[in-house]
Amino acid sequence: MAANIDWVALAKARDLNIPEDAVTRIAPGFTSLHAAFAPLLEQLPYTVEPSIILSEQAVLGE
Q: Where are the domains of the chain?
A: 7-60
Rounded Cα gap, residues 12 and 20, in angstroms? 9
**Given this model, what pLDDT does residue 32 score?**
93
- Does the pTM exceed 0.85? no
pLDDT per position as a tens digit, 13-52: 999 888 999 999 999 999 999 999 888 888 888 787 766 6
Rounded Cα gap, residues 49 and 51, in angstroms? 6
What is the distance, to the nearest Å, from the Cα of residue 2 to the centroid of all Cα atoms in its chain? 15
CA-to-CA separations, 39 to 12, 32, 35, 52, in angstroms, rounded = 26, 12, 7, 19
**Given this model, what pLDDT does residue 1 score?**
47
**Given this model, what pLDDT does residue 25 score?**
94
